[in-house]
């Protein structure tokens, strides 16, 4: 009896409730009204996969091994890091990879919640079909990252506060196009770059395979956002467009300034400010944090959202230089397109 009560109290502590309110649309038009969405939905159905049978879960993973190469470390040269002995370095590697995958896990849960909101919010039946399929995809992504973290790495970190803030803002906004902007364009655009980067570096076969499957789904999700929002902003009144600009700038600043090693510094008893300055200045850290935007920026341009205000803010963040990049290059290279 006491054990059961304790378990319930524990579940309560692990639950966080937020209030969301958004317009939910029935549509009585069952035809295809937005070009490209039905094709995406057909691809989504064709490419469903079962993570339980598709991935080699029997693979032995050594959590402290070089799952990603040790050379990719923005703290190289930092005295407290350099003082670590071999055993402590192995522990540091374990912390780094489990922190990164924990953020993927929590981001995937956010995507699951947003995709489910889109089923109700979007105005076209094909978009509802697609959002339904994305909801299934995201459930699978939460499942695979959770399983990898718990069974293989055995170390889960809490969500990064800036990522949580953007997820909350996306979930709470009542307008359906903000949900696409926050999730499909911004977070999933960033995630595709982060997954791609990790995929290139990863030396552990199970994680590599897992990432490839997840990326294939994510590339469709980003396309869902781009196709759905295509033309949406063309005739929007200036005051409404301004709200979108504000949201994009807010989200980009939040995401640009988040990965500064605070969580790792705290876990290792290092000075947070020193670590932040180092990460902000190190070539590896700089490259990684701007590279994450290489798909987001050209996609915003496609949608007509790279307005003078947004351009100005992006120039300050040093991410405007991606505006003419090809947002689908990575997909073609990986054979997704």
Which stretches of the chain bind Fe ion, using CB under 5 A?
Answer: 108, 111, 138, 141, 188, 218, 221
Closest CA to 173 of 231, 125, 118, 106: 118
Residue 184 CB, shortest distance to Fe ion, in Å, is 8
Give the shortest CB-337-to-Fe ion separation in angstroms. Answer: 17
d(CA 262, CA 258): 9
Q: Output the smallest distance, CB 311 to Fe ion, in A.
A: 27
Q: Which of 108, 177 has the CB closer to Fe ion? A: 108
Closest distance to Fe ion from the beta carbon of 83 (Å): 38
Cβ proximity to Fe ion: between 94 and 106 the closer is 106
Give the nearer residue to Fe ion in terms of CB position, either 184 or 294: 184
CB count in 10 Å sphere of residue 259: 22
Vertex 295: Cα angle to 290 and 301 (nearest 5): 105
Question: Cβ atoms within 10 A of the Cβ of 186, count?
Answer: 25
Q: How far is the CB of 331 from Fe ion (least distance, A)?
A: 14
Judged by beta carbon, residue 143 or residue 272, the one nearer Fe ion is 143
CB of 115 to Fe ion, least distance (A): 7
CA end-to-end span of the chain: 55
Residue pointed to by tokens 């932040």: 276
What count of Cα atoms within 13 Å lies in the side-chain half-sphere of residue 205? 6
* 191 vs 319 by CB, closer to Fe ion: 191
Place of tokens 């505006």: 323
- Residue 73 or 219 with smaller CB distance to Fe ion: 219
Shortest spacing between CB 24 and Fe ion, in angstroms: 21
Instruction: Calculate Rg over the CA atoms of the chain.
Output: 21
Instruction: Specify the residue, 197 or 282, whose C-beta has the smaller distance to Fe ion.
Output: 197
Cα separation, 18 vs 333, whole angstroms: 40
Based on CB atoms, which residue is closest to Fe ion, 111 or 300? 111
The answer to whether 234 touches 225, Cβ cutoff 8 Å, is no
Any idea what the Cα angle at residue 230 is, between residues 229 and 232, rounded to 5°? 65
Any residues with CB less than 8 A from the CB of 119 and at least 6 apart, and which? 128, 131, 132, 135
State the Cα–Cα distance between residues 117 and 128, nearest whole angstrom: 10
Q: In whole angstroms, how close is the CB of 303 to Fe ion at the nearest point?
A: 18
């Amino acid at each position: 009896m006491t054990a059961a009560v304790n378990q319930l109290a524990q579940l309560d502590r692990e639950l966080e409730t937020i209030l969301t309110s958004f317009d939910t649309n029935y549509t009585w038009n069952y035809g295809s009204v937005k070009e490209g969405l039905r094709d995406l939905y057909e691809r989504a159905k064709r490419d469903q996969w079962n993570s339980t049978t598709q991935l080699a879960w029997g693979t032995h993973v050594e959590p402290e091994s070089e799952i990603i190469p040790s050379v990719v470390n923005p703290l190289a040269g930092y005295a407290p890091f350099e003082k670590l002995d071999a055993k402590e370095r192995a522990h540091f590697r374990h912390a780094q990879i489990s922190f990164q995958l924990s953020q993927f896990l929590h981001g995937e849960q956010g995507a699951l919640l947003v995709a489910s909101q889109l089923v109700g919010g979007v105005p076209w039946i094909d978009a509802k079909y697609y959002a339904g399929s994305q909801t299934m995809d995201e459930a699978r992504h939460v499942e695979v990252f959770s399983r990898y973290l718990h069974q293989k790495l055995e170390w889960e970190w809490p969500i990064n506060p800036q990522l949580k803030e953007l997820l909350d803002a996306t979930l709470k906004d009542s307008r359906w196009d903000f949900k696409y902007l926050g999730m499909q364009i911004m977070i999933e655009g960033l995630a595709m770059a982060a997954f791609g980067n990790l995929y290139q570096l990863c030396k552990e076969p199970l994680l590599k395979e897992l990432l490839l499957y997840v990326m294939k789904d994510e590339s469709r999700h980003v396309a869902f956002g781009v196709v759905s929002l295509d033309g949406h902003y063309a005739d929007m009144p200036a005051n409404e467009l301004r709200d979108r600009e504000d949201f994009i700038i807010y989200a980009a600043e939040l995401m640009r300034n988040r990965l500064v090693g605070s969580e790792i510094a705290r876990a290792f008893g290092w000075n947070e400010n020193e670590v932040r300055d180092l990460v902000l200045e190190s070539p590896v850290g700089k490259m990684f944090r701007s590279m994450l935007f290489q798909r987001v920026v050209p996609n915003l341009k496609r949608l007509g959202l790279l307005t003078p205000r947004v351009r100005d803010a992006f120039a300050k963040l040093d991410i405007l230089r991606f505006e003419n990049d090809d947002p689908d290059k990575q997909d073609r290279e990986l054979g997704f397109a």
